[in-house]
Amino acid sequence: MVWGVAYAAGTLQDYHEHDPASPFYGSSVTALSSVGTLVIACQHLVPLLTYGFISARPHLVKPVALACVVASALCLVVASFATSIGLLILFQGVLFGLVGGFLFIPVIMWLPQWFDRRRGLATGMFLCGSGIGGIVFPLVFNALLTRTGFRWTLRIWALLHLVLAGAAVSLIRPRIQPARSKGPLRLRCLLPPSVRFVLDRRFIFFVAIIFFQSFGWYSASLYISPYTSSHGLGSGSATAVLATFNALATVGYLATGSVVDRIAYPLVIAVSMAVCGLAAVLVLGFAESLALIMVFAIIFGFAGGGFSCHITPMSRSLSERRSVPFTLAFFTIMAFRAVAVVAGPLIASALYPGDDAFVGQAGKRTGSVGYGRGGYVGMVVFIGIASFLTAASALLLFWQERRDRRQVAPIKGTETPSSTSSCRR
C-alpha cells in the first residue's frame, strides 16, 4: 500500500499522457512524472526527518502510523478534486508521500528485533509487498480509469488504502515493547540527528551506488508504460508490461534477499546491475514489439528489482564501523535515495522531447524506427549508463571493503535508535 502503489505510478502517468479523458491531458511529461517520483522520494525522506521523534517517543510510533493512514487517505480524496497539475503534485505527490512514508517506519524499526542472521531474507520478503502491489495496482488502476475515470479512481484508492493499510498497521507489533518516555519533549529532540558518518569513505561509495541505481531503475519503472504506449500498443499492453516488470521485481526481492546473507553484497550489486545495463542497451534500445519490451521488463525487473535488499547490509556495515544505530544508518541511506529518485526521472524526461516532436504533417510519427524508437534513444542510453556506473561503483566498494578488513577490525554498533537516544527520560 506504500511502495507498491508508488510503483504503479506509470499507469496513471500513461493515462494522463495519452487519454483525452484525463483532466490533465496535455500537461508536460516532466510535471506528470513528478507526481510519481515525489511520492517515492517523500516516502524515502520522511523516516530520517522523524527519527528524532521516534527515538524520543518510541511508544507513539504505532498510534502516529495509524493517524497517518487516515491522513494519507484524505490526501488522495483532496487530490481527486484537483483542477491543476500543481494541486495534484502537492496532494497526490508530496503530502501523500510524506504521511504515507511514515507507515513503514514501524517495520524498519522492529524488523531487527525479530531477525538477525537472516535479516537480508526477511527484508526481501518484507519488500515483496511492494512488488505484489506493483503487480496488482496497475491492473486495478487501468480497470478503474477505464470504467470510472481518474477522480473516482483516486477516491476508491483512498478507501482501499484506509482499510488495507489500517489493518496492516494495526496487526504489526514489536518484539520488545518500547518504554513510555517521561518528561517534556524538548524541541531539539524532534530535530534530525547528526549524521557525521556520511563523511565516511565507505558511505561515499554507498551514495554513488544509490544514486546511479535509482537513476536507472526509477526512470525505467516510470517510463516503461508510456514507452509501450508510444509504440502504438495500447493501454492494456502498457499495463501488462508494467505488471510484468513489477512481478519479476518481486521474484528479484526474494532471490536477492536469499543470497545477500551469504554472498558479498557489492558483488551481487555489480552482477545484477551489469545485467540491467546490458538489457537496456541491447534489448530496450531495439525493442519495437511487445515481445521485446516484455523481454526487457523480465530481465531488468528480475535483475534490478531486489536492490532495496542491499540497504540492510549497507546499514549494518555503517553501524559496525561508526557505532551508529542500525535504524539511523538505514534511514540516512534512504534519505539520499530520495534525492536520486527525483533527479533520475527528471533527467530522463529532459532527454525525451515528447510525442509532438515526432508527429509529422499527416499525423504519423516520424523518427520512430531504429535504435531508441520514438525519441527514446537518450533515455535508453541514460538508463544503460546509470546501470553500468552502479556496477562499477559496487566493484570499487568490494575492493575497498576487502582492503579495510585487512587493516582494521570492525566496531560493533547498536541496533535500535532508542539505545543511543539522549532525549528519552
Q: What is the pLDDT of residues 330-346, one digit of tens each?
A: 889 999 999 998 899 88
Lowest mean pLDDT among 23-32, 184-193, 209-218, 387-396: 184-193
Reduced 3-state DSSP string for 394-414: HHHHHHHHHHHHHHCCCCCCC
Residue 41 CB contacts under 8 Å (≥ 6 apart), including other chains: 97, 338, 339, 341, 342
| Residue 212: pLDDT over 90 | yes
Nearest to 334 by CA among 195, 199, 222, 219: 195
83: pLDDT confidence band, cut at 50, 70 and 90? very high
Average pLDDT, the chain: 84
Q: Where are the domains of the chain?
A: 3-175+198-406
Stretch 213-239: mean pLDDT, rounded?
87
> Between 1.10.260.40, 1.20.1250.20, 3.20.20.60, 2.40.128.20, what CATH number should domain 3-175+198-406 receive?
1.20.1250.20
C-alpha cell at 330: 538505514
CB neighbourhood size of 168 (10 A): 18
DSSP 217-238: HHHHHHHHHHHHHHTT-HHHHH
